[in-house]
């Protein structure tokens, strides 16, 4: 029996659909949604995703909205800069 997800890892669940390059993107995003991120409040690297777009710090319980797969997306920080915030 051959491995079905040789090239695409966890995104192999999509089967033959969507194409290889899309699945590679999905895989990198799925990795980043499980990783820990630095908390904007206490600066500890203990932020986990609790739901799509919702992030929570396990150290200080600070909860905030962010990107679906990362607390701060590229577009998000561009927007914040335009609004004059950090």
Would you say 7 or 63 has its CB closer to Zn ion?
A: 63
Closer residue to Zn ion, CB minimum distance, 24 or 41: 41
Q: Which of 56, 59, 73, 76 binds Zn ion (CB under 5 A)?
A: 59
Parallel, antiparallel, or unpaired: how do β-strands 45-51 and 54-57 relate? antiparallel
Contact 40/46 with Cβ under 8 angstroms? no
Nearest approach, Cβ of residue 62 and Zn ion (Å): 5
Q: How far is the CB of 47 from Zn ion (least distance, A)?
A: 7
- The residue assigned the tokens 């491995």 is 3
Q: CA-to-CA distance for 49 and 69, rounded, in angstroms?
A: 8
Contacts with Zn ion, residue ranges (CB under 5 A): 39, 41-42, 57, 59-60, 62
């Amino acid at each position: 029996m051959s491995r079905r997800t040789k090239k695409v890892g966890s995104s192999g669940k999509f089967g033959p659909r969507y194409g290889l390059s899309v699945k590679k993107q999905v895989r990198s995003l799925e990795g980043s949604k499980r990783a820990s991120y630095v908390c904007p409040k206490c600066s500890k690297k203990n932020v986990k995703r609790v739901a799509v777009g919702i992030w929570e710090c396990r150290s200080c319980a600070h909860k905030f909205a962010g990107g679906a797969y990362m607390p701060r997306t590229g577009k998000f920080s561009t927007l914040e800069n335009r609004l004059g915030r950090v």
